[in-house]
Chains A and B, each alone.
Chain A
Amino acid sequence: MQHGKYRFIAGFLALPVILYAVFVISPFVQAIYYSFTDWTGLSSDFKMVGFKNYNWLLHDDLFWKAVGHNVVLLLVVPLVTLGLGLFFAFMLNVGGRGRKNSAISGVRGSSLYKVIYFFPQVLSIAIVALLFQFTYNPRNGAINAFLGGIGLESLQQGWLSDPKLALWCLMAVMVWSNVGFYVVLFSAGMSSIPKDFYEAALLDGANRIKTFFKITLPLLWDTVQTGWIYMGIIALDAFAVVQIMTVGPGGPADSTQVMGYYVYTKTFHDGQAGRATTIGVAMLIVTLIFAVIVTRLGRRERLEY
């Protein structure tokens, strides 16, 4: 029965592998190829220009600005999103006062909260971005109206029209729209942790904060790491919120320019597809570096329970 086994497996794998090659690998390869040409994207007349595009990229201030913003997003957005996700999930599962003879339970109404937290996840990012654009509106947006309503006119801001705040406003939206998913994900992870661990810890006199750091987090580490990579990829993208919400878009004064949006403008506004694919290749490199760092840093021995 041994011979033919591999042929059997290969037969089953062929279709998905071919699909993957056609729709994932080949665009990557093509993008790398085009990044060495002066292709405009508007005609099939182009020639090889060697490393000229890469040379341009290294000396382009706007690109480095965009990289800087992506790095800020990469540091802040996953940290805040996962931190909040963990906190809420912990409160929903372990944070309540013991009732009904069980030492461990979530806060009151936790099953309802789970549903509510998940709401933003079902809205498409375009809708979320539009909603928040109205919220941030300096003249009749909800935030300034609220601040005015409670007599804090001095705190009213231009939000998205202020270069110092615009990127933070975007981050808030990204966190808001993603946190619910991680609450549900971590909740699922936590519910599989045996209750007696917690009971034992409580008997030993550990408080909630200690149990979180000594029991919950170590046992959830794999899930957190996966979440970290996903959130990192979202932070490296950020195209939709920039394109829909920001001044310009990408402004004010390039304060919200990110790599993804820069690729778009180079392709669709400037007719410089060669340069755009070069930025795309740079994004690929940054993403790979990020993934390597996260998996390296995150290595821990697996706990069996």
Chain B
Amino acid sequence: MGSTSDVGRRDLIKRSAALGLISVPAMSALSACASGGDDDAKKVDKGKKSAKNPLAVNESAALDVVIFDGGFGQQYAKDAEAEYAAAFPKTKGKVKHAATQKIQTVLQPRFNGGTPPDLVDNSGAEQMDMGTLVGKNQLTDLTPLLDAPSLDDPNKTVRETLRPGVVEMGQFDGKPVWILYYAYTVYGVWYSKSNLAKLDMEYPETWDDMLKVCEAAKKKGIAGWTYPGKYPYYLPFSLYPFIAKIGGRDVLDSIDNLEPNAWKHPAVKAAFEAYYELYKKGYILKGTPGLTHIESQTAWNQGKALFIPNGSWVENEAKKTTPKDFQMAVAAPSSLDKSDKLPFGTLWASGGEPFIVPKSAKNPQGGMELLRIMLGEKSTKNFIKQVSSLSSLNGGTEGLRLPPGLASAQEALTKAGKNVVNPRLQDWYVTLQKQQIGVGALGEMMAGRMTPAETIKKCQKFADETAKDDAVKKYKHV
């Protein structure tokens, strides 16, 4: 989350002086606008289609890849690029790889100038707004990739090898698939099996038991819950599936659709009140509202709190602070009561790390081919080993010794079966989800500054404002 610029002030002055010198004779400086022009970049010629090259990749064309260098690092992509170079030997040395945490800062000029890379991992705090990219027709439809034969089994298309829901996540309206989510994240309530065992407790499957566990922990001076108070939009990772479990999928769907009064559903109220009770009874780790994700995870690793809402990247992210016998595990939200619409095990799992092939990419086939390689068995195994996260390829875990958190995520997925929910608010309306509902409403409620009733009112107000804002493109569940 640092924000140190990677350009020194001195460099900047030097460069701008140099630039100035160059642009003086040109004198076209005033017309050099930030938005550039759409001089349709020359696309490279297609190659020969064959069984080994179903996307007809140009076998000697350069490939330009930009990766988000975040929780998963960039090595997995580099390894896949090496595979690509091996498959197309003439491209050796022509695969350009860049990694950054500031995706939009780096890529905005290239998108505006019509010279974007061939494949982008559009992730992180500076994710380019997907709704805008799709709305402005800036992306390549990935359908050819999905219909191409998969790398390991030519009798199966890539589409058939993916986990359920991944393809749908890349669709915004209608058929085209604009995004391919490469990672597969399991969200839920994360805990330590060994720390629970020290209290002679099991993971609580009902909310009453949850309160009992927290009470027992409190007596020992341990908090029940913590969460990244500085980024309260982690709370929905366990709260949204909890809402779905109480009131059924439709509640989340109507929230995603920005329907009027969607937040006023009794299931939302019940879930909010249950979480608010954690605060009321003093089960939240003291100081939590001021902690970053790293600080809250560290406190949780140190056994100061039992539960934390999180996603399956946490195992890799917290590697350095996790004790050896921690036995990290994830569970679905506890049941509120017998009248819950969905069984225990219902959880949120969905794609992460959205990969896109820009519309004006010079070598879109190459970008898609690299994705096809990444979705092969070999690259997926490599990804799972490196970052202990599942990938969108349905499988790849056979024969691997999974670390405890990932093994538990795998079990949780199996247990959930069909009851996997996928709230779309966080990819359709990022600001509404993070800044407004996350920080402005849920964060305030869990810090005890707002009652559940006030929080619901505020969420509804934010949602209505977004629904009314014609600058935001709207999407609907089909």
Task: Please list the residues of chain A having a beta carbon within 8 angstroms of any beta carbon in chain B.
Answer: 15, 18-19, 21-23, 26, 29-30, 33-34, 38-46, 56, 124, 126, 130, 136-139, 144, 158-161, 163, 240, 243-244, 247-248, 250-254, 265, 267-272, 275
Contact = CB atoms under 8 A, between A and B. Distances in A.
A126 B4 contact: yes
A251 B439 contact: yes
B471 interface: yes
Contact of A45 (B136, B285, B449): B136
Given A34-B35, A252-B289, A252-B447, A42 B229 contact: no
Given A26-B30, A43-B111, A253-B444, A161 B290 contact: yes
Contacts of A240: 3
A267 B104 CA distance: 9
Nearest to B432: A270
Contact of A42 (B4, B128, B295): B128
Given A18-B20, A23-B16, A268-B104, A39 B35 contact: yes
B451 to A, nearest CB: 14
Nearest to B30: A26
Nearest to B32: A26
Interface residues of B, number: 59
Interface of B: 1-4, 16-17, 20, 23-24, 29-30, 32-38, 104-105, 108, 111-114, 126-129, 131-133, 135-138, 229-232, 285-287, 289-291, 295, 299, 430-431, 435, 439-440, 443-444, 447, 449, 471-472
Given A30-B34, A253-B444, 12 more contacts: A26-B32, A40-B129, A40-B132, A42-B112, A56-B471, A158-B447, A161-B287, A247-B229, A247-B289, A253-B443, A270-B132, A270-B472
A41 B108 contact: yes
Find the residue from A21, A39, A43, A267 having the highest chain B CB count within 10 A.
Answer: A43
A21 B132 contact: no
Contacts of A124: 4
Nearest to B290: A161
B3 A243 contact: yes
Given A44-B37, A139-B287, A272 B136 contact: no
B36 A44 contact: yes
Contacts of B449: 163, 252-253
Contact of A268 (B105, B285, B435): B105
Given A42-B112, A160-B290, A139 B295 contact: yes
A26 B29 contact: yes
Contact of A247 (B32, B136, B230, B295): B230
A76 B452 CA distance: 35
B23 A22 contact: yes
Nearest to A163: B449
A161 B448 CA distance: 12
Contacts of A40: 129, 132, 135-136
A37 to B, nearest CB: 9
B129 A138 contact: no
B4 A251 contact: no
Nearest to A166: B290
A-B interface, 5 closest residue pairs, ranked by CB to CB distance from nearest: A138-B287, A271-B132, A271-B129, A161-B290, A161-B289
B58 to A, nearest CB: 26
Nearest to A137: B290
Contacts of B112: 41-44
A255 to B, nearest CB: 10
A195 B33 CA distance: 56
Contacts of A33: 33
A254 B208 CA distance: 34
B267 to A, nearest CB: 25
Contacts of A18: 20, 24, 29
Contacts of A42: 108, 111-112, 128-129, 132-133, 136, 138
Contacts of B430: 269-270
A240 B126 CA distance: 16
